[in-house]
Amino acid sequence: MRLFMRRRGEAGESRDAARKLADLVREMLRLDEDATVSISEIACGDPACGGAETVVLVMRPGRRTEAAKVLMPMSQVGEEELRAALRPLEAGTAAPS
């Protein structure tokens, strides 16, 4: 079973899509520069995701890594789908008192 999906000739497109989504994640969660965002597309066995799902990892210093999934290929993820997937992570954006 292939975990990571990469098609010939699409590496540049995937990289651009990942960068765009990572920038949106940073904006939506109001992340500091010391946070890291990783966007990956992996194989998905659920028919609802069309063969691939997008996984977002948010790594903030001093905290556990947080993950969000969008059940569609990276190239199809829009702002609305991304915002919905990130909603559970938004609680972690408030500054500590």
Identify the pLDDT of residue 14: 73
- What is the overall mean pLDDT for the chain? 83
95 in any annotated domain: no
84 in any annotated domain: yes
> Mean pLDDT across the stretch 71-91?
92
Identify the pLDDT of residue 10: 55
Q: How many domains does the chain have?
A: 1
81 in any annotated domain: yes
What's the pTM? 0.78
For residues 48 and 86, the model is more confident at 86
Provide the domain limits for residue 44: 11-90
30 in any annotated domain: yes
For the chain, the three-class secondary structure string (H helix, E strand, C coil) is CCCECCCCCCHHHHHHHHHHHHHHHHHHHCCCCCCEEEEEEEECCCHHHCCEEEEEEEECCCCCCEEEEECCCHHHCCHHHHHHHHHHHHHHHCCCC
CATH number of residue 24's parent domain: 3.30.160
> Mean pLDDT across the stretch 82-91?
91
pLDDT in tens, 24-42: 999 999 999 999 999 999 9
Q: Could you tell me which of 47, 27, 41 has the C-alpha nearest to residue 77? A: 41
For residues 80 and 94, the model is more confident at 80
